[in-house]
């Protein structure tokens, strides 16, 4: 077993500092900046590779990934409904159907440090997987009623930070191509891991603050926050293998399936399903699932991808 990646150690530092109530706090503007750079870098990297690919090859993959994004929250909902009120169950299901770019970035760095290749257009999947779960979550909470202001919500979802920066990065990378991107590579690609380390330090602090609310909200969410990503990773791994992705690509899709949103979905749910308690969903996604995925999940999903490929072959 290799030593923990240093970026993961940064996360542990943040987590420990947060739990010990150390006097440590990244200014909000820096957190914003770090997440912007990570979103752009992931988008740009995918866009550069997209320039080399034919759209016809990509379409069936996009369709399958989209279906996965609809099925996962639908599967999570009945389990959650067993213990939680309808709006809470629907909101948490939406969080787990959507994705976490932070977790994805950790997985990308993990694959890179192990020298494992993956299909570089996978960031397109990240963009694609953000939305469907939000729509499913709202429908689960509300049905097809007229109370939902879809126009306002569409604005929130499509013009949220994640979509604009990652989608914009994809387009810029695609338009500029590998040659055009070279002068910018120093900031966005070479420094990626440094930015990720600082970002994870702050995420550790945030996760620690969510863990304290978990103490109040119980064991059910803690168990769900670990079991759900494991099952989702199986689904994601299977979809990746069926689509003919490489081992690295399969591991990334499993990671995406396993990750839970903590930016786009909370914001959308707060507007569309206000009666859902945001503390519950954030405690699960930030307090349990994000640390679990960063510390244990990502290496596990790579092993899972290897296993699926071996069994499939």
Partner 1 sequence: MSNEYRKLLTVITESAIERDLLADMERLGAHGYTVTDARGKGSRGVRDAHWGEAGNIRIEVLCDDATAQAIALHLRTRYYDNYAMILFMSEVHVLRPEKF
The stretch near partner 1 (CB under 8 A) out of 3-11, 189-197, 241-249, 275-283 is 275-283
Q: Say if CB 128 and CB 62 are below 8 A apart.
A: yes
CB of 267 to partner 1, least distance (A): 6
Question: How far is it, in rounded angstroms, from Cα 191 to Cα 274?
Answer: 39
CB of 285 to partner 1, least distance (A): 11
Please identify which residue in 21, 25, 52, 114 interacts with partner 1, judged by CB under 8 A: 25
* Binding residues for partner 1 restricted to 121-150, rule: CB under 8 A: none
Identity of the residue, 209 or 246, whose beta carbon is nearer to partner 1 in the bound complex: 209
Residues shown for the chain: 313
Number of residues counted as binding partner 1 (CB under 8 A): 20
Please identify which residue in 142, 270, 306, 309 interacts with partner 1, judged by CB under 8 A: 270
User: Which tokens sit at 237?
Assistant: 């791994």
Q: Say if CB 14 and CB 201 are below 8 A apart.
A: yes
Question: How far is it, in rounded angstroms, from Cα 179 to Cα 160?
Answer: 29
Query: Is residue 205 at the binding interface for partner 1, with CB under 8 A as the rule?
Result: yes
CB atoms within 10 A of CB 54: 7
Identity of the residue, 71 or 141, whose beta carbon is nearer to partner 1 in the bound complex: 141
Q: Say if CB 208 and CB 85 are below 8 A apart.
A: no
Q: Kindly report the CA angle at 202 between 198 and 204, in degrees rounded to 5?
A: 115
Q: Say if CB 200 and CB 8 are below 8 A apart.
A: yes
Query: Is residue 230 at the binding interface for partner 1, with CB under 8 A as the rule?
Result: no
Query: Is residue 28 at the binding interface for partner 1, with CB under 8 A as the rule?
Result: yes
Query: Is residue 246 at the binding interface for partner 1, with CB under 8 A as the rule?
Result: no
Q: Say if CB 276 and CB 88 are below 8 A apart.
A: yes
Query: Is residue 279 at the binding interface for partner 1, with CB under 8 A as the rule?
Result: yes
Residue ranges binding partner 1 (CB under 8 A): 25, 28, 31-32, 152, 202, 205-206, 209, 213, 262-263, 266-267, 270-271, 274-275, 279, 282
């Amino acid at each position: 077993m290799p030593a923990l990646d240093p970026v993961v150690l940064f996360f542990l530092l943040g987590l420990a500092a947060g739990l010990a109530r150390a006097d440590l706090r990244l200014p909000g503007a820096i957190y914003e900046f770090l997440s912007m750079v990570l979103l752009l870098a992931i988008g740009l990297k995918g866009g550069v590779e997209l320039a080399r690919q034919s759209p016809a090859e990509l379409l069936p993959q996009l369709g399958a990934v989209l279906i996965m994004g609809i099925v996962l929250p639908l599967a999570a909902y009945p389990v959650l409904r067993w213990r939680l009120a309808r709006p809470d169950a629907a909101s948490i299901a939406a969080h787990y159907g959507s994705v976490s770019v932070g977790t994805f970035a950790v997985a990308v760095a993990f694959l890179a440090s192990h020298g494992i290749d993956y299909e570089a257009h996978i960031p397109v999947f990240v963009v694609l997987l953000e939305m469907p779960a939000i729509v499913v979550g709202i429908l689960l909470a509300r049905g097809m009623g007229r109370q939902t202001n879809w126009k306002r919500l569409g604005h929130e979802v499509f013009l949220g930070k994640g979509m604009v920066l990652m989608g914009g990065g994809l387009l810029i990378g695609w338009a500029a191509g590998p040659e055009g991107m070279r002068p910018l590579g120093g900031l966005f690609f070479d420094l990626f891991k440094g930015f990720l380390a600082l970002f994870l330090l702050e995420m550790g602090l945030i996760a620690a603050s969510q863990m304290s609310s978990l103490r109040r909200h119980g064991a059910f969410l803690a168990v769900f926050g670990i079991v759900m990503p494991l099952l989702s990773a199986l689904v994601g791994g299977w979809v990746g293998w069926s689509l003919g992705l490489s081992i690295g690509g399969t591991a990334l899709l499993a990671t995406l399936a396993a990750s839970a949103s903590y930016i786009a979905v909370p914001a959308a749910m707060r507007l569309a399903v206000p009666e859902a308690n945001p503390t519950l969903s954030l405690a699960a996604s930030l307090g349990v699932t994000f640390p679990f995925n960063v510390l244990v999940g990502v290496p596990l999903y790579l092993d899972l991808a290897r296993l699926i490929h071996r069994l499939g072959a």
